[in-house]
């Protein structure tokens, strides 16, 4: 009796990258997924199970993994969006109460509970779009007390939602009034506390024009590594300052954005196996250039995709739309884009041994899509094709299409 699987999903077309390291291609095959204790135990034959489910020939993909979000935050910046749409300058946006500091002010006033509540809503949106694992960052506190508050909210969030959550400390998101030098000392103190309390696994820095300098960013990441953190960087979104290669050389797991990366940096990323995390929804939202994904991929760099979901520079969070942008604007193949949003993003988050593919031994994080071919994900990028989401083998969302007319 104990040999019974908990659930058997038969009659599905499985489309998945394979292994624990980054991928560019998918295996596609007809099969049945047997699940026990939240994990996949067989794909080749339908094992006897307590519950049987007919997959009706739908595509089964691994749950999406969002490698880069700015959850948790409170408030919204729609006014800033409209002003930008009207062509107003950045200075005018700031004058009208826009910019990152408007979110910082709201987050500083918010309680942990406020942040968790807002993040839970966003986690539900992500779940209904097939995201079963995602990254959360601090970065709207910009002082010890409020950065820690955000990290505590992330911890609490993860106990309240079905998804896996990975926490990143982004205390260096915007330069506070005391300036870089004084802030670096404060951040180093905060980092020790974050490490002791195990509040984050990663440290991130926004190194760019109008944000932190190369010198500051290098020292922050170096020190973070010394403390035992894994490090990442927001690099070369606005200016080609060469920080992507520098971060790669000190062992950054990923460098994110890369719109302005220079050609001579690309071999450095490839040699160090640093992942490029690309977020085309931010380019779309801000009407800027797109990252040179093709150049990166064709020169041996592995790419992961993320949303960059945040209240200021991008409010799109759906992997369906972002895969559309990846195929249409980043010129990625459908298989590259799906790998980038599943196994490769899981790899960035240090979770590719558990999630990111449909394979025996991994968590049963599976989404069922009613589509005739994988091309339909970018071609018709609506979540309406997403019918069922399983997290650890448990059905956590079903699109029942319960309209009555």
Residues contributing to the site for Zn ion (CB under 5 A)? 308
- Is beta strand 386-391 parallel, antiparallel or unpaired with respect to 394-398? antiparallel
The separation between CA 51 and the C-alpha centre of its own chain, rounded to angstroms, equals 32
CB of 236 to Zn ion, least distance (A): 13
As a whole number of angstroms, the distance between CA 214 and CA 377 comes to: 39
% helix, strand, coil for the chain, step of 5: 35, 25, 40
Q: Where are the alpha helices (DSSP H) in 75-111?
A: 78-85, 90-95, 100-109
User: What is the edge-to-edge ordering of all strands in the sheet holding 303-305?
Assistant: 64-66, 131-137, 164-172, 202-207, 230-235, 254-257, 275-278, 303-305
- Is beta strand 366-369 parallel, antiparallel or unpaired with respect to 386-391? antiparallel
CB of 68 to Zn ion, least distance (A): 6
* Residue whose CB is less far from Zn ion, 309 or 347: 309
CB of 67 to Zn ion, least distance (A): 10
CB of 282 to Zn ion, least distance (A): 8
Q: Which residue is nearest to Zn ion (CB)?
A: 308
Q: Where are the alpha helices (DSSP H) in 228-312?
A: 243-249, 266-272, 280-286, 293-298
* Residue whose CB is less far from Zn ion, 174 or 214: 174
CB of 368 to Zn ion, least distance (A): 30
* Residue whose CB is less far from Zn ion, 123 or 366: 123
As a whole number of angstroms, the distance between CA 405 and CA 403 comes to: 7
The alpha-carbon radius of gyration of the chain (Å, integer) is 21
* Residue whose CB is less far from Zn ion, 153 or 386: 153
In 43-92, DSSP assigns E strands to 49-54, 59-62, 64-66
CB of 73 to Zn ion, least distance (A): 12
Look-up of token digits 């093709």 = 294
* Residue whose CB is less far from Zn ion, 147 or 308: 308
User: Which two tokens mark 268?
Assistant: 């450095």
* Residue whose CB is less far from Zn ion, 93 or 277: 277
CB of 348 to Zn ion, least distance (A): 13
* Residue whose CB is less far from Zn ion, 265 or 308: 308
């Amino acid at each position: 009796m104990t040999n019974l699987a908990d659930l058997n999903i038969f009659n599905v077309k499985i489309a998945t990258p394979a292994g624990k390291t980054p991928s560019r291609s998918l295996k596609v095959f007809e099969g049945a997924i047997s699940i026990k204790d939240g994990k996949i135990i067989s794909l080749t034959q339908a094992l006897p199970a307590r519950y049987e489910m007919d997959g009706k020939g739908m595509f089964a993909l691994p749950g999406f993994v969002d490698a880069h979000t700015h959850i948790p935050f409170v408030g919204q910046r729609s006014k800033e969006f409209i002003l930008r749409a009207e062509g107003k300058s950045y200075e005018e946006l700031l004058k009208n109460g826009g910019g990152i500091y408007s979110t910082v002010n709201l987050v500083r006033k918010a309680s942990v509970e406020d942040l968790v509540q807002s993040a839970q809503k966003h986690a539900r949106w992500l779940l209904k779009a097939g995201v079963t694992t995602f990254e959360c960052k601090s970065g709207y506190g910009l002082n010890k007390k409020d950065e820690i508050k955000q990290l505590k909210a992330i911890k609490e969030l993860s106990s309240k939602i079905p998804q896996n959550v990975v926490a990143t400390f982004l205390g260096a998101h915007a330069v506070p009034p005391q300036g870089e030098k004084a802030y670096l000392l404060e951040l180093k103190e905060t980092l020790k506390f974050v490490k002791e309390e195990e509040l984050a696994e990663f440290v991130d820095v926004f190194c760019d024009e109008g944000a932190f300098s190369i010198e500051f960013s290098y020292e922050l990441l170096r020190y973070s590594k010394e403390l035992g953190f894994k490090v990442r960087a927001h690099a070369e979104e606005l200016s080609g300052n060469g920080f992507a290669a520098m971060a790669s050389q000190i062992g950054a797991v990923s460098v994110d954005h890369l719109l302005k990366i220079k050609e001579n940096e690309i071999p450095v990323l490839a040699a160090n196996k640093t992942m490029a995390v690309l977020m085309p929804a931010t380019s779309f939202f801000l009407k800027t250039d797109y990252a040179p994904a093709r150049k990166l991929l064709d020169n041996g760099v592995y790419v992961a995709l993320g949303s960059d979901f945040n209240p200021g520079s991008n409010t799109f969070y759906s992997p369906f739309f972002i895969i559309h942008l990846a195929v249409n604007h980043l010129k990625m193949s459908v298989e590259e884009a799906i790998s980038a949003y599943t196994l490769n993003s899981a790899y960035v988050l240090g979770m590719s041994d558990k999630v990111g593919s449909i394979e025996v031994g991994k968590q049963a994080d599976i989404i069922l899509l009613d589509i005739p071919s994988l091309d339909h994900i970018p071609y018709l990028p609506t979540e309406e094709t997403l019918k069922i989401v399983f997290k650890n083998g448990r059905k956590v969302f079903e699109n029942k299409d319960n309209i009555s007319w």
